[in-house]
């Protein structure tokens, strides 16, 4: 019924507004309500309707796709911000407690600790505002962290750093590498007279950054399983940021914990 109505309206308007010939594009004159003419008009209208509908579907699909992508990006950004807020709360509490003890002792290290802590808080709260940070700034932030722990544990901490290749313009996720170094102190100081840390950074074909980290720990105090776990925050961030385009391996050899990380850089 609807198709018949379309035919009547289309043919009537064409007759009144365009030409008195019912089917001017045909080779032979056609009569009103002739079967061939009806079929031709209906097929033409169906073609137009189908074409317009297809355009509408494509446009709506594109809009919906972009909306879903924006929602996914927003969700990932929100989750990344949430994960970053979980990185160092216990470190700041421990440092403040240590600072309180140093002030009671009127130690000369108290002002140094305040400055180091201030630098770290300034970096975390004000300087880290995007999804990528300069690697040199991240390394400096890690060094501040280690210096604070040295003030806390005195001569019980030894740390070495090795850099291979040019890293001046390398960008990495902020506070990601620090979480692994923080894990060294969290587990390595338990039952040990001294904590030894070795960090290395190496560029691979200007496309990937290789980060290796080793530290000693006391197997009698800390199980291998517990020492190998504790970086779930960092792993979650890596999955969100790089999907499958990264490598994270951990291993234990005797009383040495080793971590290997390879991530794409920009």
Q: What is the pLDDT of residue 77?
A: 64
In tens digits, the chain (266 residues) has pLDDT values of: 655 555 555 555 555 444 555 555 544 555 555 555 556 666 666 666 777 888 888 888 888 888 777 666 666 566 556 655 655 666 677 778 878 888 888 888 888 888 888 888 888 777 766 778 899 999 998 998 898 888 878 788 899 999 998 888 899 988 889 889 988 887 777 777 889 999 999 999 889 999 999 999 887 765 544 444 446 778 888 888 888 899 999 898 888 999 999 999 86
Q: What is the pLDDT of residue 211?
A: 96
Q: What is the pLDDT of residue 228?
A: 43
In 3D space, the residue among 89, 81, 84 whose CA is nearest the CA of residue 233 turns out to be 84
Instruction: Report the predicted TM-score, pTM, of the whole model to 2 decimal places.
Output: 0.65
Q: What is the pLDDT of residue 45?
A: 65
In 3D space, the residue among 224, 229, 225, 221 whose CA is nearest the CA of residue 254 turns out to be 224
Q: Could you tell me the fold of the domain covering 109-264?
A: Heat Shock Protein 90 (3.30.565)
Residues 201 and 135 sit within 8 Å (Cβ to Cβ) = yes
Structure-block tokens of residue 193: 């007279």
Burial of 181 (0-12, 13-18, 19+ CB in 10 A): buried
Secondary structure, 3-state, the chain:
CHHHHHHHHHHHHHHHHCCCCCCCCCCCCCCCCCHHHHHHHHHHHHHHHHHHHHHHHHHHHHHHHHHHHHHHHHHHHHHHHHHHHCCCHHHHHHHHHHHHHHHHCCCCHHHHHHHHHHHHHHHHHHHCCCCCEEHHHHHHHHHHHHHHHHHHHHHHEEEEEEEECCCCCCEECCCHHHHHHHHHHHHHCCCCCCEEEEEEEEEECCCEEEEEEEEECCCCCCCHHHHHCCCHHHHHHHHHHHCCCCEEEEEEECCEEEEEEEEECC
Domain boundaries, the chain: 2-69, 109-264
Q: What is the pLDDT of residue 229?
A: 41
Q: What residues contact residue 203 under an 8 Å CB cut-off, 6+ apart?
A: 164, 165, 166, 167, 170, 209, 210, 265
From the CB of residue 220, how many other CB atoms can be counted at a distance below 10 Å?
A: 9
Q: What is the pLDDT of residue 153?
A: 80
Q: What is the pLDDT of residue 164?
A: 92
Distance from the first to the final alpha carbon of the chain: 63
Q: What is the pLDDT of residue 142?
A: 92
Q: What is the pLDDT of residue 118?
A: 86
Q: What is the pLDDT of residue 263?
A: 95
The angle formed by the CA atoms of residues 220, 177 and 138, to the nearest 5 degrees, is: 135
């Amino acid at each position: 019924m609807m198709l018949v109505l379309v035919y009547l309206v289309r043919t009537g308007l064409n007759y009144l507004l365009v030409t008195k010939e019912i089917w001017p594009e045909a080779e032979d004159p056609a009569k009103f309500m002739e079967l061939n003419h009806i079929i031709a008009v209906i097929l033409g209208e169906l073609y137009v309707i189908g074409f317009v509908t297809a355009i509408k579907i494509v446009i709506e699909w594109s809009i919906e796709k972009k909306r879903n992508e924006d929602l996914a990006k927003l969700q990932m950004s929100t989750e990344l911000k949430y994960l970053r807020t979980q990185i160092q709360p216990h470190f700041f509490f421990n440092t403040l407690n240590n600072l309180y003890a140093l002030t009671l002792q009127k130690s000369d290290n108290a002002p140094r600790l305040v400055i180091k802590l201030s630098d770290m808080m300034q970096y975390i709260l004000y300087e880290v505002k995007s999804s990528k940070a300069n690697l040199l700034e991240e390394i400096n932030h890690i060094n501040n962290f280690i210096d604070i722990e040295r003030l806390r544990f005195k001569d019980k901490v030894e740390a070495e750093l090795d850099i291979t290749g040019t890293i001046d313009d390398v960008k990495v996720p902020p506070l990601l590498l620090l979480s692994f170094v923080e894990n060294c102190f969290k587990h390595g100081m338990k039952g040990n007279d001294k904590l030894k840390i070795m960090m290395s950074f190496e560029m691979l074909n200007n496309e990937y950054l290789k980060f290796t980290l080793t530290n000693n720990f006391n197997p009698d105090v800390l199980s291998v399983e517990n020492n190998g776990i504790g970086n779930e925050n960092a792993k979650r961030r890596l999955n969100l940021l790089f999907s499958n385009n990264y490598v994270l391996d951990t291993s234990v050899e005797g009383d040495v914990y080793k971590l290997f990380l390879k991530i794409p850089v920009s």
